[in-house]
Amino acid sequence: MPRRKAAMAVGALAALGAAAFLLPHADASQDPGDGGPAPGAGGTARTLRATDAPDLDARLRKILGDAFAGSYYDSGRQQLVVNVVGGGDDVVVQARKAGAVVRQVDNSTAELRAAARTLRTRAAIPGTSWAVDPRTGKILVTADSTVTGAEWARLRSAVRSLGSGMATLKKSSGTFRTFASGGDAIFSRVQGGNVRCSLGFNVTAADGSPAFLTAGHCGVAAEKWSDAETGEPVATVDQATFPGDGDFSLVKYDDPATRAPSEVNAGDGRTVPIGRAAEATVGQAVFRMGSTTGLHDGQVTGLDATVNFQSETDPNGVDTVTGLIQTDVCAEPGDSGGSLFTQDGSALGLTSGGSGDCTGGGETFFQPVTTALRATGATLGSAGDQSGAGAGAGAGDEAGAGEGGDASAPSGASGSGAADDDGSSSPTGTR
């Protein structure tokens, strides 16, 4: 795919607004939520960047064990808040010594997961979603505008059956849908018309061939993909998962000599080198790039989300997808498969679907990149692109700088590459 295809028209104000954050320390955006830890949070905690939060979160999970009940990054105070249920004083002291703000909550991780299973059994209604919200220590259940009448009553009953203090229920003004239409990205011809999605991240497949990740519902919809609406196919779907345990596809380039650098096109000739795959953290500042709406930013609001999309093949059916990242970043049709990443070059997710648009806002859900890499056996980056940041960053890479690592050196957004017009086959990280 020629790089000139990556220099898409991005909404000028939106691109400039989000791009302004692609600078050192941009991950310290303000939390739109409660402005700090809930009452009862205590202990001294160290100041840390959002890029360090997932690393501390992983350590706390090991320290706390069954007492761990979720965590989130308080970007206002630049601290990680960890929820604890029970646990001895020594465990809590260890968590505080590790650098977190510790607060006691009522619902354990096991109880929240059991509640989510109950919702899956009783309330898998098209237009609904749920995810654990560590800021409240509850499950946040969302219903879109199509959930009315008997279905709304059924959903309310299911939430109430969980017991007081276990879940909250809210309405969304939009409609949950996948975003696989409209855009200027990767194209496929199917019976009845064209499908258009966005490329997520370039990878190396397990057999060493160049490939990329995109949304699973894109890979299910079509097998052959092109860089132009009327162009010949240049890539073929190798694996696709949707619905079920994820929404991701591995698509291999047909030409094994394709140069596929590990970077995201951020619009206006700017690229962000992608150096690793990382786990998302609630409260983390993130960026989404998609072929329809370009670059937008926001925050992670939930993890391990379940979304019930209306089935596109069965009018009475539901396509349930689990294990997603929930955000307040906007997206629109054609952005499916596009990149969710951080300003320091960490790959987080692939755009799945959601509600709303980039005028009024809404919720957008993303497939975690780490899960997609493990499932497909692919490696972030391109073995054939020796200059690409992140070549060799594998499926098991975790987020955050390790002990002694340098998380303060930003990748930023460079001005190279995205506007090449030489026709060479050199795709960037997204379209």
> Active-site residue numbers?
217, 247, 336
Q: Hey, what's the torsion of the CAs at 379, 306, 124, 315, to 10 degrees?
A: -50
d(CA 429, CA 128) in angstroms, rounded, equals 31
Contact 255, 318 (CB under 8 A): no
d(CA 294, CA 289) in angstroms, rounded, equals 5
Q: Is the dihedral of CA 326, 328, 334, 337 positive or negative?
A: negative
> Of 371, 379, 381, whose CA–CA distance to 428 is shortest?
381
Q: What are phi and psi of 372, to 5 degrees?
A: -65, -40
> Of 296, 307, 305, 310, whose CA–CA distance to 339 is shortest?
296
Contact 101, 82 (CB under 8 A): yes
d(CA 234, CA 248) in angstroms, rounded, equals 19
d(CA 97, CA 15) in angstroms, rounded, equals 41
- SS3 assignment, position 13: helix
Buried b vs exposed e over 171-190: b needs ≥16 C-beta within 10 Å?
ebebbbbbbbbbbbbbbbbe
